[in-house]
Amino acid sequence: MPHHNVKLNPLLASAVSGDRYYSPVLIQWDVRFLPRRSARVAGEPITPHQLSQMATIPPVSRLRVISGLLSDNWPITVYNPEGVTVEDVLGAIHEALYAPLTISEWELMSPRKRARIEEIFYARCRASRDFERTRQGGVRRADCMITSTTFAGLSSLTLRHNRWEVVMTLSRDFSARHQYA
């Protein structure tokens, strides 16, 4: 594979492999929540300036986000003809994972996995301000992530088949302080 000079914005980049679990990514964010409202950098709310930064240097107009935790049926393709921004990436991740789970996706899961997802779903309903409205919204793809909902960065930026791909890592949320939207 040819060498390229495109780099990820440090706000999005995960720690160098081997240090991944010891060096936190700069953005602290639970993917279940809107990034503009909930993402933090160094303990402070993410700023419009940080969100407007290019996701890559130099900018690219299209970026595909992949992860071993995501179904192949949940593609995350980020597009901005003027260059993909940090906000474009975070927004696309949130949008893909906030989407309702389809009946066919639900039926393909084992009864054991469905039971675990239901636990997460009802916990989200109970934690919400409006239980019934949240329940009627149904199971979201993010519920299928169980507790692996903390953004742990992007890595392995690669040009594959004339498109840029990046690997997203999600880690477990060990804090109980998050409130569901």
The predicted pLDDT at position 71 comes to 86
State the DSSP code for 64. Answer: E
What does the domain layout of the chain look like in residue ranges? 7-98+148-171, 100-139
Q: What is the mean pLDDT of residues 111-120?
A: 97
The CA angle 79-84-89, to the nearest 5 degrees, is 85
At residue 175 the predicted structure's pLDDT band, cuts being 50, 70 and 90, is: low
Distance separating alpha carbons of residues 117 and 142, to the nearest angstrom: 9
Distance separating alpha carbons of residues 73 and 40, to the nearest angstrom: 29
The pLDDT tens digits for 31-55 are: 999 999 999 999 999 999 999 999 9
The pLDDT tens digits for 158-171 are: 998 888 999 999 98
**Over the chain, what is the mean pLDDT?**
89
Q: Record the pTM.
A: 0.87
Structure tokens belonging to residue 128: 């919400």
The helix (H) or strand (E) run that includes residue 121 is helix 111-127
The position carrying tokens 């474009």 is: 88
pLDDT at 138 over 90: yes
Q: What is the mean pLDDT of residues 103-120?
A: 96
